[in-house]
Amino acid sequence: MNRKNDQVNDVILQTAAVIIFFIIIVFSINLFFAGHYSPGGGFIGGLMTAAALVLLLLAFDSKTLANVLPFDYRKMTALGLAIALLTSLHSIFWGRPFLTHAYDKFDLPLLGEQTLHTAIAFDLGVYLVVIGVTMTIIQTIGESE
Amino acid sequence: MLDIIIYVALAILVLAMLGMLYRVVKGPTTADRVIALDSIGIGLISVVSLLSILLDTTMFFEVILLLGILAFIGTVAFSKFLERGEIIQHDRNNDL
């Protein structure tokens, strides 16, 4: 068990982790955008993104992850809360109650006519908060010696 | 007819998962238990897919992929703990 000073070789784990990371990220984005019409949403999408980041933490180390993806997860939590609060507040300025959502049809350049709903912005806030809180917990526990 | 086949397959899967559960309880080393828990996760994927045929719904497909990812990450985390003694290292190349 005392192999801490040896140069360990994790070629299979690291190669597999880099490929599986992108599969999990794409799956989590699919879960996030599918949330309106089918199972999914901001919570499980954020948890899956955090799981992809945890897979990178397992295959590499926290220093490498901080170099590759330099996010401050506490600021990410704050940003998610701010997005959720702003999308809840915007209806007040139109004379509607708090948390009233709105939607409209837009003609997007590549995607054609799509219905955009402000609930997706609220869900983006949930997504960012879930990633931020999960990664803060895991990194805080992992870093302590 | 298809229902009967699915019920038989579910019964066989439950028996297989009971066998894996025996290995989790009895297994002499920790590695036996980790492998058995991983196989229970895979068996759970099969149960969920058979149930989604039985209930005639596509709403469980996310659960199937989710269980596969979670079983993989959990097994990797446990094997890293068995191998290194710590799960998340701070600096892999010059440790401590």
Rounded Cα gap, residues B11 and B6, in angstroms: 9
Q: Would you say A13 and B73 are in contact if contact means Cβ atoms under 8 Å apart?
A: no
A26, two tokens? 């794409």
Rounded Cα gap, residues B67 and B65, in angstroms: 6
Q: What is the mean pLDDT of residues A35-54?
A: 92
Instruction: Give the model's pLDDT for residue A1.
Output: 45
B85: chain A residues, CB-CB within 8 Å? 1, 4
Q: Between B83, B87, B91, which is nearest A63 by CB?
A: B91
A113: left (phi over 0), alpha (psi -120 to 50) or beta: beta
CA dihedral of residues A44, A52, B21, B82 (deg, nearest 10)? -140
Looking at the complex, does the CB of residue A65 fall below 8 Å from at least one CB of chain B? no
Which of A24-28, A80-84, A96-100, B19-23 shows the lowest per-residue confidence on average (mean pLDDT)?
A96-100
B73: chain A residues, CB-CB within 8 Å? 51, 54-55, 58
pTM: 0.87
Higher pLDDT, A9 or A65: A65
Mutate to test the interface with A, among B92, B93, B95, B96 (most CBs of A within 10 A): B92
Instruction: Give the model's pLDDT for residue B71.
Output: 94
